[in-house]
Chains A and B, each alone.
Chain A
């Protein structure tokens, strides 16, 4: 069975600082994808960043980057220069075959 674990229900960060959100997953699959999604109060899930498991290089999208440790099954998200608009729920997700598996989310608050 595939599982995704986010052990930090809530986090906060000062504006302009850096924060790291943790995610671990469990799978026996060798070919899969990992994602971080942002869900603001409007409820619409927005893709933040995506990582293919076969790529060793960590994905980066502007202020967002990941630390992908395949052997440890760890996939953390680093947000640099945090902005007020980053306040949202963040979900780590794992995809293989036709299915997505989401963690329970981390509520991030950026403090002015």
Chain B
């Protein structure tokens, strides 16, 4: 596709449910990032992949958060046993190379609401 695609656009979950958020990066992009954006805040880094390797997961807030990119393209962010504080917009970004990983193209995000 022409840009970074994220699905679903909106997700409502009951507290305690597991959710999976999908990111389709721009074709051929090596680097992929996940961010969490709380209401009224800037995005906060969660994790970074270079191809299928998760090189940095220091931003994941707890062990309930898990991200994967098994074939180096599509990535999934999974949140287990969701809690109200997980409510946020989750943004995905991709970048054409590891060297140019600071040039990021963002998706429109998934808005997660935990009730």
Contacts and interface: CB of A to CB of B under 8 A. Distances in A.
B103 to A, nearest CB: 7
Number of contact residues on A: which range applies? 20 to 34
Contacts of B55: 98
A75 to B, nearest CB: 14
B28 to A, nearest CB: 18
B101 interface: yes
A42 interface: yes
Interface string A68-112: 000000000000000000000001010101111111110000000
B105 to A, nearest CB: 8
B97 interface: no
A55 interface: no
A83 to B, nearest CB: 22
Given A98-B48, A98-B55, A104-B41, A43 B89 contact: yes
A38 to B, nearest CB: 11
A102 B42 contact: yes
Number of contact residues on B: which range applies? 20 to 34
Interface string B20-49: 000000000000010100001111110010
A101 B106 contact: no
B77 interface: no
Contacts of B91: 43, 45
Report which residue of A4, A42, A97, A100 has the largest number of chain B beta carbons within 10 angstroms of its beta carbon: A100
A100 B104 contact: yes
Interface string B85-105: 000010101000000011111
A59 to B, nearest CB: 13
Report which residue of A33, A43, A47 has the largest number of chain B beta carbons within 10 angstroms of its beta carbon: A43
B70 interface: no
Given A45-B93, A45-B106, A98 B101 contact: yes
Given A4-B42, A42-B108, A97-B56, 6 more contacts: A47-B103, A91-B43, A99-B48, A100-B33, A100-B45, A103-B42
22 contacts: A4-B42, A37-B106, A42-B108, A43-B91, A43-B111, A44-B106, A44-B108, A45-B91, A45-B106, A47-B104, A50-B102, A91-B42, A95-B102, A98-B56, A99-B56, A99-B58, A100-B33, A100-B102, A100-B104, A101-B45, A102-B42, A104-B40
